[in-house]
Structure 1
């Protein structure tokens, strides 16, 4: 049981400090879409708020919580919410802050941080990008980094049972961290914070539009569907960009047009309004994008939401997709179909113009990345159920490269065959795209179906 003098000290500290500046105002209600993680953290919150019942059972507070996952998914926000829910002092730091060229400086900073946190307990120490100081040690490691990591390990081991100090770490690369840091007793709980699913995206969007004047015609569910694969940071940026566009357009409410433009801006980049594209290049781009869209439709990969030849970012054109549902497993055939869609633009160029352009650079990069994953990570090649560690892959690279070539070449041949078999539809889509510059998903579907009917009628005749 917690000693009486410690309870009274905590009470005095809470009354004295109240809601001070180092106590975040963020609560769990401000963190949308991470219900399972919040449920898991509820025990830690309860422990900090009511430690007596846990001490009676002889339970110890978890010393460390490690959040890992892609960037922009809410790891920092969760750490602030833990401190906010418990009215604890919050000590944020970045792993890079402890990295110095002078030996001992980083270790001293770690000691100082933990001393402050112990003095101000209950407290939450948050170390973002912890892989900067917590990377695996080796004989070639930097001595200063090793000393800093050693000090962090000592500090995390040295807590007294009655000191309510929680260490929260965040990283995008769990595989880089030292095993001594990951063991129970230091970081007791490892929590994966991934990109939100469709329900979570809807909740996140609701949080970000809460204080914004939104037009009643805006359908949040539809926006959540269209933002597949995006992180919470992306969604926050979309809501903010839509608000800025509404101000620019002198509107009193944020409408669906602003949200559509914001999604395009975040996904495809800034629109180049003054870009002068030669007619010949515009024609190539229209066939290129029509090739992507046509093969995507024929293979039924994802729902097409927009096809455009208006330059955005580095791209002269783009096809936007909006998957009907979130997917967690993808089959070998579906991955091959994705590669075929990516190569569809180049296949259309080769068939129509007899040569290819530099416009497929990004497509080739993505296609080769998928093929590499199929060979090295998913065991989807003629090598069978084999996977290759990135560090060891260089020793087998000729064999891996041959497998990637086989996959890419096979998919490209199929793309060429699909284009050759549907040239009339390609011509119709390309011509309409050249004239209008932008086609919605519905407009593309109508052109596709009309061209198919014409083709069927001419075949019968």
Structure 2
């Protein structure tokens, strides 16, 4: 008889030991001597007042079970015989050990059963040649995960602003619904679809919508869940995921943040990560075109992903999910506002939310609704959105306390930015004394004059301060940093310097030119700048509509 010893599940062993410890504590609580010691006077009072319900002796003590005080004890040597003459004092029954051995007998039986369930017996040899073979004991395993599918309830009708993406995925949905149509034509669907885009644009919701529209099981895993401290466990999780999907085919596997496990292999050894990535590559090669499995993955940064994952036959279809345009933001807002009473021009809200992703728009609508309820109003209005927009974008900030001199500098600094943003017609809703929400350039392709307009806005506060005071404050560091980043991108990435070949000198020359031009423009329109200062000093904010009206009135 060959007996093959299998690895004993560490979780079962821990469970048995934990149960034993709990039972020990329970037995200790039951069997320990819990009676409070009393004096002779107290014992006499209890006996004379007929408070004793039961009396027993054990190990030199006499125990009294009383009506009000529970169990108490007194040394038997202290009790005079005449005091207890009318009491029936029984010897204590020692049944505690019986319970003790009974509990541990149960533990031992459970342990033996769990151990036996891990043994395999094979009657391959004659009885006379009975041998025992023990395989190598495996390393301790991390808890295995039960991979289960979920039924997605998200539909494309629940997601706004994804028209282009939806068209790309219609083929995948049709394939999952009617795979024979494609097989008979000799065509195959991509094994992997990679959704690429910034956070919050709805990549996970899109994958769920594909599964719901196709009416197939949806297997969700995060790329980070494959990164394990146990050697081999990441690869095991990948194998379990694909095995479960094959059993439920047709199905969709969605791996979020796949770059966590699929980063480029650049020579630095990480056996666990590489083993997990290799298993993922093998699984994607291993399932057949007719298996009915489609792998959808999402990443915020495709540049860090390993080339082996991106080659044809794996993630060979890439869909870029960008920040929503104005019309797409309007469609998204319509979805979120359909059940909220409102008196709004949704197109106007869409225009003031340049740079918002789907998640930010959802948060914006929710914050506006909550503010409306706090103010006991019955409809959400534009004022509610304006009040919470900065909170959604930047978080709630505590307004800094400014001295009179600091306030004068801040008013002048922000007035310069108001002038530049209004003059170059950049998107902003309002600029306050402490912050602004001028959206950086996001549209592609970006034209040179558009980027330069943004750089001038970030330099305008510094220029305005120098015209009035001959210096500027340290709070210009953020604007200066953004301006430098944009200038660097123009020279080194976009070839928009004085020559195609980038250089540090070109960066400095471009920055100096834009700063000088902004200073000259502000000096010519000091009257408008001063008017903006007056408004900011009085109200501590100015809207774009008021800024444009003020500028047009003076010009």
TM-score tier, shorter chain, comes to 0.7 to 0.9
Tell me how far 1:403 sits from its aligned partner.
2.5
Deviations 1:41-61 (A, max 9, x none): 111111111112222112223
Of 202, 216, 221, 1:74 maps to 202
Return the match for 1:156 from 284, 302, 314. 284
**How far apart are the structure 1 equivalents of 2:296 and 2:246?**
15
CA contact (8 A) 1:289 1:319 kept: no
1:349-402 deviation digits (Å, cap 9, x = unpaired):
122122110121221121111011101110011341x47xxxxxxxxxxx4x33
Q: Which residue of 1 aligns with 2:259?
A: 131
Match of 2:229 among 101, 107, 115: 101
Any idea what SS the aligned residue of 1:134 has?
coil
Which residue does 2:359 correspond to in 1? 233
Matched, 1:348 2:457: no
Matched, 1:175 2:293: no
Equivalenced residues, count: 408
**In the alignment, is residue 92 of structure 1 matched against residue 220 of structure 2?**
yes
More helix by share: 1
Residue 318 (str. 1) matches residue 318 (str. 2): no
CA distance in 1, matches of 2:428, 2:267: 52
Aligned CA distance change for structure 1 residues 441 and 426 (closer, same or farther; 3 Å): same
> In the alignment, which residue of structure 1 is the partner of 2:554?
451
- CA distance in 1: counterparts of 2:379 and 2:531, whole angstroms: 38
Please state whether the residue corresponding to 2:322 is helix, strand or coil.
Answer: coil
Contact 1:228–1:322 (8 Å) recurs in 2:
no
> Following superposition of structure 1 onto structure 2, how do residues 274-423 of structure 1 map, counting pairs within 5 Å?
275-298=400-423, 300-309=424-433, 316-318=434-436, 320=438, 327-384=443-500, 386=501, 399=503, 401-423=504-526
1:127 CA drift (Å): 0.7
Distance across 1 between alignment mates of 2:544 and 2:164:
35
**Would you say 1:249 and 2:375 are equivalent positions?**
yes
Matched-pair contact (CA < 8 Å) for 2:245–2:251? yes
How far has the Cα of 1:28 moved from its partner? 1.1
**Aligned-partner Cα distance in 2 for 1:336–1:138:** 38
Instruction: Go from structure 1 to structure 2 and tell me whether the alpha carbon gap of 1:373 and 1:431 turns closer, same or farther (over 3 Å shift).
Output: same
Gaps of 5+ in 2: 1-147
Higher RCO structure (Cα 8 Å, ≥6 apart): 1
CA deviation vs aligned residue, 1:224-267 (integer Å, no higher than 9, x gap): 11111221111111111111111221222212111112223223
Q: What displacement does 1:290 show?
A: 0.7
How many Å separate the matches in 1 of 2:191 and 2:428?
48
Query: Would the alpha carbon gap of residues 440 and 105 (structure 1) be closer, same or farther in structure 2, given more than 3 Å must change?
Result: same
Unaligned runs of 5+ in 1: 1-19, 310-315, 388-398, 453-461
Measured after TM superposition, the shift of residue 81 of structure 1 is 0.6
Name the larger-Rg structure: 2
Judge conservation of contact 1:301–1:334 (CA < 8 Å) in 2.
no
Equivalent of 1:430 in 515, 529, 533? 533
Is 2:332 aligned against 1:204?
Answer: yes
Structure 1: how far apart are the matches of 2:197 and 2:437?
28
Verify the 8 A CA contact 1:242 1:259 in the aligned structure 2.
yes
**Secondary structure at the counterpart of residue 211 of structure 1:** coil
Distance 1:319 1:429, change over 3 A: farther
| 1:166 corresponds to 2:294 | yes
The CA distance in 2 between the partners of 1:319 and 1:120, in whole Å, is 49
Q: Does the 8 Å contact 1:196/1:231 carry over to 2?
A: yes
**Is 2:353 aligned against 1:214?**
no
